Amino acid sequence: MTEKLSDTARKSLIEPLLASGWTLEQQDTVLAKTFRFDDFPCAFGFMTRAAIYAEKWDHHPDWSNSYNTVAVRLTTHDVGGITSLDAKLARKMDQLV
């Protein structure tokens, strides 16, 4: 079972994400970022690529799409907070842009 990140792990895994535009929400239990693209096909393509990893890792984001914007929220509901899976998927999403 995946566990919430320890303070040490949070520092090493979350701080680089915050530097790349991710934010912490809901009392630091959710990683959030809004991605903006040139148009709808680019936004949808990003979601499709990210969905492949989310399915492979069995860790699915809470997200929404409106035209060229994709709003992403990552948390591990089973443990009520951020885990290494959330950090892993956030890093991958940043690479897919």
Domains recognised in the chain with CATH numbers: 7-96 (3.30.1360.20)
Rounded-to-10 torsion of CA 26, 38, 43, 57? -70
pLDDT attached to residue 1: 59
Average pLDDT on 83-87 reads 96
Q: Could you give the 3-state DSSP secondary structure of residue 61?
A: coil
pLDDT digits (tens, 9 = 90+) for 24-79: 999 999 999 999 999 999 999 999 999 999 999 999 999 999 999 999 999 999 99
**What pLDDT shows up at residue 72?**
98
Tokens 């990552």 -> residue = 74
Q: How confident is the model at residue 39, as a pLDDT?
A: 98
What ranges in the chain are assigned the alpha helix state H? 7-19, 40-56, 84-96
Residue 45: strand pairing partners? none
Segment 89-93 shows an average pLDDT of 98
Cα gap 54→89, rounded to integer Å? 7
